[in-house]
Amino acid sequence: MHILITGAAGFLGQRLAKHLLQNPALKTLTLADIAPPPIPKGDNHQDKKIYGLQADLTDPQAVQALVSSDITAVYHLAA
């Protein structure tokens, strides 16, 4: 399972990321925000790929770079 969270640097994005990282089915988590999103600390995600990307969602090229065919779900928390 590959999940993308937009607005991932914010309060809700960080809490959601920590919660999702506890799911054993999660393989890849992409965190995106206008400011570089921090990777949640902890040892519950050693076997997962986690990417923190700075991206402006008003830029079509940035959005195109974020979205891929292997994404299972998107949590859009950017405001």
First vs last Cα of the chain: how many Å apart? 25
- Side chain identity, residue 40: P
Across the chain, what does the average pLDDT equal? 90
Tell me how far the alpha carbon of residue 45 is from its chain's centroid. Answer: 13
pLDDT digits (tens, 9 = 90+) for 36-66: 999 888 666 677 889 899 999 899 998 888 8
Copy the structure tokens of residue 19: 């919660």
Residue with tokens 């994404």: 71
**Angle 10-31-66 (CA atoms, 0-180°, nearest 5)?**
125
3-state secondary structure of 77: coil
| pLDDT mean over 66-78 | 91
Taking residues 64-78, report their average pLDDT.
91
Predicted local distance difference test score (pLDDT) of residue 44: 65
> What is the structure's pLDDT at 43?
63
Grade residue 33 by pLDDT with cuts at 50, 70 and 90.
very high
